[in-house]
Amino acid sequence: MKDLIIKETGNSRSLKSSIGAISWEEARGLLQSGTFPIDLLGLNPDGVQQTGTALNKANLLSDTTKTALELTQSDPTVNDALYALSQKGSPAEVHVIADNGTTVTMSKSGKVLSAQASGGEAILYPTVLGDWQLTYTYGGQQKSKTFTLEVIGIVTVYPFNVSGSLESTDWTDIALCSQFGQAKNYFAIGDRKTVNIGGTNYQVQIIGFDHDDLTSGGKAGITFQMVDCLNDTAQMNSSNTNSGGWNSSAMRSRMSTYLSQIPSALQSAIKTVSKKSGTGGGSSSGTQTTSDKLFLLSEIEIFGKTTYSVAGEGNQYEYYAAGNSTIKKVNGSAGYWWERSPSSGYTGYFCFVTSGGAATNGNANNSYGVSFGFCV
């Protein structure tokens, strides 16, 4: 906050009165009796060296602070806030997500706080802001992290550690971050992470938050897709047919092989989601739903419109809606890559993306790039 500093030039403020013309003696009498009517007007910049911080609601007790302190008064005062803090015995109330019945500790400069978790969390009342060392148990595993207490009020500490970037954060913590609905607070669309698939390192990137429907209900927190394609191309089907669409395709069956080739930590993090796709066989409308851990994207999920596919195969991902490139490499060079969309009105075509990044369609038994997606 800043103090008001006036220049002492006699012009820092102005007065206004409704009183009419009177003599000085009459004015002095009103002043002495305390009945001289005036308005104290605002500051005159010409007479002020430094404007002080305004003593108003926004600076003294904002609605945000009222909510954080759980004040129930409709128009609480600073005294109400101070009293609420005194009853808490602490400037903050820290909720640590932990296994029921386990002990959570917070330590700082020799001071140790502890509480037992109940209802999925332990509540502690630190009296000092700054860095605290936390130890807790979640999912049967003991964990530790440094937690920086920066605010007065109620704070929740989640059971994951984000190590500065998506690349340096492990899949278990990424999955927990997603599970607790915090992914957007730590990561961004387009963030990348390296994944070893069948002995070769590839990059995957975030293409959407809260986009895909979990088969079990609710939304998957994060959707990833390979930045480029697997080195080996593949057919959608061994023969030139799209009958049964994605659901019946050899490519969908092949996804289980790809899944087995990725690290076990990522396998455990991947969620099953419901994906809609055309039925193929020459149909120009209608979709079917499959439950998938790995999947190819549909035409509309990439381009935001249907040119060769049927309607109803999902919605465009945020990554592509932002205008990012649809060109992907196969073995280092831009190549064709498959979509899961059977081509509308054709019995032998699936949709794919050209090496120039355009939408098109072609024979199901052609061998093109594979850039699968998945959700955690």
For 67-102, write each residue's pLDDT tens digit: 877 788 888 888 877 777 666 666 688 999 999 999
The total number of structural domains in the chain stands at 3
Q: Regarding predicted confidence, which is higher, 303 or 86?
A: 303
Q: Are residues 237 and 364 in the same domain?
A: yes
Match 């909510």 to its residue by tokens: 67
Q: Are residues 34 and 80 in the same domain?
A: no
pLDDT digits (tens, 9 = 90+) for 118-165: 999 999 989 888 999 999 999 999 999 999 998 878 899 999 999 889
**CATH code of the domain containing 67:** 2.60.40.10
Match 């008064």 to its residue by tokens: 73
Classify residue 269: in a domain, yes or no: yes
Last residue within a domain, chosen from 157, 192, 208: 157
pLDDT digits (tens, 9 = 90+) for 240-296: 999 999 999 999 999 999 999 999 999 999 999 999 999 999 999 999 999 999 999
Classify residue 116: in a domain, yes or no: yes
Classify residue 243: in a domain, yes or no: yes
Which 3 state secondary structure label does DSSP give 46?
A: helix
Q: Are residues 367 and 270 in the same domain?
A: yes
Q: Are residues 22 and 46 in the same domain?
A: yes
Structure-block tokens of residue 3? 């103090």
The domain of 107 spans 60-157
Q: Are residues 148 and 29 in the same domain?
A: no
pTM: 0.76
Last residue within a domain, chosen from 138, 157, 176: 157
Q: Are residues 257 and 366 in the same domain?
A: yes
For Cα atoms 360, 364, 370, give the angle at the middle one, nearest 5 degrees: 75
Q: Are residues 369 and 229 in the same domain?
A: yes
Which 3 state secondary structure label does DSSP give 376?
A: coil
Q: What was the pLDDT predicted at 18? A: 85
How would residue 57 be classed by pLDDT, with cut points 50, 70 and 90?
Answer: confident
Last residue within a domain, chosen from 134, 157, 180: 157
Q: What was the pLDDT predicted at 89? A: 60
Q: Are residues 359 and 262 in the same domain?
A: yes
Given a contact cutoff of 8 angstroms between Cβ atoms, the answer to whether 246 and 368 are in contact is no
Classify residue 290: in a domain, yes or no: yes
Q: Are residues 255 and 370 in the same domain?
A: yes
Q: Are residues 133 and 31 in the same domain?
A: no
Q: In the chain, pLDDT over 90 holds for what percent of residues?
A: 73
Task: Name the nearest CA neighbour of 226 among 192, 175, 178, 176.
Answer: 192
Task: Name the nearest CA neighbour of 240 among 199, 281, 298, 285.
Answer: 281
Classify residue 312: in a domain, yes or no: yes
Q: Are residues 242 and 111 in the same domain?
A: no
Structure-block tokens of residue 12? 């820092």
Classify residue 172: in a domain, yes or no: no
Which 3 state secondary structure label does DSSP give 262?
A: coil
Q: Are residues 37 and 129 in the same domain?
A: no
Classify residue 355: in a domain, yes or no: yes
Residue 52 has pLDDT above 90, yes or no: no
